[in-house]
Structures are given as C-alpha cells and as structure tokens.
Amino acid sequence: MGCFMKDTATCKALYFTGVPVWLVHTEVYISPDMNIKEPVRLMCPEDIVKAMYSEKGVAKPFPLIYCGPGGLLHHI
C-alpha cells in the first residue's frame, strides 16, 4: 500500500509517518543530479476493485480498526 501524489507537503508528512509515497512531477522539476533508473508512464489498473463491498445488495464496509493520529506509536 502507499500513495502517488503531486503535493510535496502532504508527501513529506506521509513519508515521515511511514507511509510509502511516490512524488509525481514533470521533468521540469527533476534536478540534473537526480538518479532516475527508468521513467514510466502512470496508469490506473483496469482490474482494480473500486466498489463498496456488499452482500445481497447491502453495503458492508469493512470495520474500522483504528481512528486517530498516525505514526510509529500507533501501528497495529
């Protein structure tokens, strides 16, 4: 799990809480001394499930495990 984003402040905050992040930006903002292994084109997978889980037509969201601030002290 992780996230792709364009906002540097949010990316930094999530990074320091331990969430894997990928900062996406255009070539203009890539510094000449940055090592790039292989540029790729981002695309959304077509087989990903985005719908709410349901049983017999009734939505059954998964139970909430934790609600509160993130960070290493709050990992389950």
Residue-wise pLDDT tens digits, 18-53? 888 888 888 888 888 878 788 888 777 788 777 777
Contact call for residues 6 and 24 (beta carbons, < 8 A): yes
Residues spanned by the domain of 7: 1-37
Q: Percent of the chain at pLDDT above 90?
A: 0
Q: Residue 72: is its pLDDT beyond 70?
A: no
- Tokens in use for 17? 């809480």
Q: Could you tell me if residue 13 is inside a domain?
A: yes
- What is the predicted pLDDT for the residue at 70? 72
Total structural domains within the chain = 1
How far apart are the C-alpha atoms of 71 and 16, rounded to whole Å? Answer: 8
* Residue 69 belongs to a domain: no
68 lies in some domain: no
Cβ atoms of residues 22 and 4 within 8 Å: yes
